[in-house]
Amino acid sequence: VRIGLEQTRYDFAGEHRPGGLVKALRYKIGYTDYQHIEYAAETTPGTKFSSNGFDSRIEAVHERIGRFDGALGVQLKRFTFSAMGAEGFLPVTATRSAALFLYEETTLGPLKLSGGARGESVRVGAEEDPRFGDARTRSFAPRSGSLGALYTLSREYAVAFSGSYTERALTYQELFANGRHLATRAFEVGDATLGKERSTAFDLALRKQAGPLTGSLGVFYNRFRDFVTLVPTGADDGDPDHPLPVYAYRHLPAAFRGAEATLSYIAYDRGGRRIVLEARADTTRATDRSTGRP
With 0-12 / 13-18 / 19 or more C-beta atoms within 10 angstroms meaning exposed / middle / buried, residue 47 is buried
- Per-residue confidence at 53, pLDDT binned at 50, 70, 90? very high
pLDDT of residue 264: 97
pLDDT of residue 85: 81
**Residues 50, 34: contact at Cβ < 8 Å?**
yes
What's the mean pLDDT in 221-250? 93
* Residue predicted with more confidence, 1 or 58: 58
> CA dist 289 to 64, 153, 206, 249, Å?
44, 37, 28, 17
pLDDT of residue 259: 98
**Residue (of 261, 262, 260) closest to 278 by Cα position:** 262
pLDDT of residue 42: 67
Q: How far apart are CA 175 and CA 172, in angstroms?
A: 5
pTM of the model: 0.87
pLDDT of residue 11: 98
pLDDT one-digit tens code per residue, 261-275: 999 999 999 998 999
Q: How far apart are CA 150 and CA 131, in angstroms?
A: 54
pLDDT of residue 196: 96
Q: How far apart are CA 220 and CA 201, in angstroms?
A: 7
What number of CA atoms fall less than 13 Å from residue 105's CA on the CB side?
11
pLDDT one-digit tens code per residue, 130-187: 888 899 999 999 999 999 999 999 999 999 999 999 999 999 999 999 998 877 889 9
